[in-house]
Amino acid sequence: MSDADWKFETRQVHAGQQADPTTGARALPIYQTTSYVFKDTDHAANLFALKEFGNIYTRIMNP
């Protein structure tokens, strides 16, 4: 199927992307983890000790 045959909805998801030459994957991967920046080591320690609310690791607590 050429790009010209795509319906409007398909273009919204895939337009402008090229298939990965190694894997052939059409869609960009979704990474379900991330890292966060802390003000300083005390801020990080308080977050990890759950003394202060905030994001520390997305598999534990997604924003």
Question: pLDDT digit string (tens) for 30-53?
Answer: 777 777 899 999 999 999 999 999
24 conformational bin, left if phi > 0, alpha if psi -120 to 50, beta if neither: left
Name, of 1-5, 43-47, 58-62, the range with top average pLDDT: 43-47
- Could you tell me the two tokens for 44? 């990080």
Average pLDDT, the chain: 81
- Considering the entire predicted model, what is its pTM? 0.45
The pLDDT of residue 18 is 81
Residues whose CB falls within 8 Å of the CB of residue 47, separated by 6 or more in sequence, listed in order: 38, 54, 55, 56
Is the pLDDT at 10 greater than 70? The verdict is yes
